[in-house]
Structure 1
Amino acid sequence: MAARSILITGSSSGIGYAAAHDLKARGWRVFASCRKAEDCERLEAAGFASPQLDYADPTSIRSALAEVLEATGGTLDALYNNGAFALPGAVEDLPRGGLEELFQTNLFGPHDLTQLVLPIMRKQGHGRIVNCSSVLGLVAMPWRGAYVSSKFAMEGLTDVLRLEMRGTGIHVILIEPGPITSRIRQNAIPKFEKWIDWENSPRVEQYRSQLRKRLYQDRGPDKFELPASAVTKKLIHALEAENPHPRYFVTTPTYIGNILRRILPTRLLDRVTAGG
């Protein structure tokens, strides 16, 4: 029996890297894609098939998927849309260009790839589409408007797709990580420096005393931070369970955020989350 195949995006580090290794160890045929050629080469040296896939480049999305399908004979059992980045900053300081760049990677690219994969899964009569969301797809927090809005959008798009795929054999699933050990903070620094003119913001003192310290200082793990393998544990159930859950919560803040958004009035929830 042929090994089940999965295409994972954003595999260079963190959640995607852990998922690639753990699923390969379970016998999956893993295509661990990365945005940068040097990261693909590193994974290939470790024994992975690693097509280069940049969500911001539609041509690379098509060519990466074509590479996968050539290797599998035209089938794909699962897609894990994991790649994303953050652009911290106050919403009033967020230029449209920065928001567009982030949405291209966090939402439009995953949507493009999903649209290309769905006909393959329809033809074979089964498949799993797993989208990596966030606790910030459930509740809003200050300074994270770009990332929050992209994950809220992913939640809605995924929910509707799940409803529309009923009866097709294709399961559509959300993973809700929360604080996970990764490089998302470090990777956000160049985006912040590129797009946020904080020194000319009416919030300049808040940037100095709050956001920049949080962004540039390594304060060690967050209180509830878990390793990336904690996400893979839920991903395995999403991929291998006969009847997977629509959502998988990973960390304590995600469980709490999901409960609070359902039971608290908006003003009270604002008080809870306003501190960021």
Structure 2
Amino acid sequence: MGAHRTILITGCSSGIGLDAAQALKEDGWRVFASCRKEEDCQRMKSEGYESPLIDYTKPETIERGLKEVLDATGGTLDALFNNGAYGVGGAAEDVPVGLLREIFECNFFGWHDLTCRVIKVFRNQGNHGRIIQCSSILGNVVFPMRMAYSCTKFALEAHCDALRLELKDQPGIKIVSLNVGPIRTMIREKSVPHFDKWMKPLVEQSVFRSFYEKKFMPRLYGPYKKDPFELEPEAVTKTLKHALTCERPKPRYAVTVPSHLFMFLKRVLPGWVLDWICLWGIGLWRPGKGFGLHP
């Protein structure tokens, strides 16, 4: 793939989506850089991008946004990069069902809708095209207080596997998952309204109150601090370019050292050992000092 190819990228207002749109446009791709807010679409258009409005939580925008793309290309599309999503932290037993419904609507159901529509386009144009899904290491390994987001990414990994198997007789259609680790984006800042809406009112009654107040909330609301091994969005874009151009892409790619490490550890370690490593890795357990979720 190269010059004059077309790609639809979601979640382009900042971070991974914006970096991917900029880099692929520079490489000669015709980039449709979608955003979920009209003001962001207008900003992208002012910078020379075609920017359909697509909000995963609003099916009518998915239908209308894809139609806008296909009207502009004459009904064809070479690639889709699903990227727009958000996270919200909290202990599993504290998470309301409404939160799960809301985050799945954005992080999974909308992705499924757009992906299936694009596969039909690929079939109609001669069974060729690529769908790259921006997944997460949290779709392979679960960390404490990240259940809701992890559930959406585990579902996405299953979705990718199912599509890949079902499309075996269409080798021109490729499904690839990018298992992204710590990348500097606005995902932490953008999670704040969702935490305020669903989780913050429950903190005072939670058995995990001490952890929320001493560790989780200071990190969420406090000044930004770089995570260990955190990379910039161009690390994802580099892998995306490979997945788009490689003749035989892998089913999934790890992005960042922690992603490579934990995907390897999950394959080789007993579950109980990996559990303790996950707790140690985010500072919730230290040998001789005990378990840090409770007072």
Separation in 2, partners of 1:139, 1:127: 29
SS at 2:23 equivalent: helix
Residue 79 of structure 1 corresponds to: 80
Deviation at 1:213, TM superposition (A): 1.4
Q: In the comparison of the two structures, how many residue pairs are matched?
A: 276
SS at 2:130 equivalent: strand
The answer to whether structure 1 residue 192 and structure 2 residue 192 are counterparts is: no
Render the CA deviation track for 1:46-90: whole Å, top value 9, x for unaligned.
Answer: 100000000000000000000000000000100001111001111
Separation in 1, partners of 2:121, 2:97: 35
Q: Partner letter of residue 126 of structure 1?
A: H
Structure 1 residues 16, 240: CA separation in 2 closer, same or farther (over 3 Å shift)?
same
Residue 170 of structure 1 corresponds to: 173
Separation in 1, partners of 2:38, 2:204: 35
The answer to whether structure 1 residue 263 and structure 2 residue 268 are counterparts is: yes
Residue 16 of structure 1 corresponds to: 17
Query: Which region of structure 1 is more displaced relative to structure 2, 159-168 or 224-233?
Result: 159-168
Separation in 1, partners of 2:47, 2:245: 25
Residue 57 of structure 1 corresponds to: 58
When normalised by structure 2's length, the TM-score is 0.92
Query: Tell me, which stretches of 5 or more residues in structure 2 are unaligned?
Result: 283-295
Query: Tell me, which stretches of 5 or more residues in structure 1 are unaligned?
Result: none
Residue 48 of structure 2 corresponds to: 47
Separation in 2, partners of 1:91, 1:190: 19
Residue 253 of structure 1 corresponds to: 258
Residue 207 of structure 1 corresponds to: 212
Q: Partner letter of residue 241 of structure 2?
A: I
Residue 287 of structure 2 corresponds to: none
Deviation at 1:150, TM superposition (A): 0.6
Deviation at 1:191, TM superposition (A): 0.4
Residue 240 of structure 1 corresponds to: 245
Residue 286 of structure 2 corresponds to: none
Separation in 2, partners of 1:45, 1:3: 21
**Equivalent pairs: percent with the same residue?**
50
Q: Partner letter of residue 181 of structure 2?
A: G
Specify the structure having the higher radius of gyration (Cα).
2
SS at 1:19 equivalent: helix
Separation in 1, partners of 2:71, 2:229: 42
Separation in 2, partners of 1:199, 1:52: 39
Deviation at 1:106, TM superposition (A): 0.6
Separation in 1, partners of 2:65, 2:259: 32
Residue 154 of structure 2 corresponds to: 152
SS at 1:30 equivalent: strand
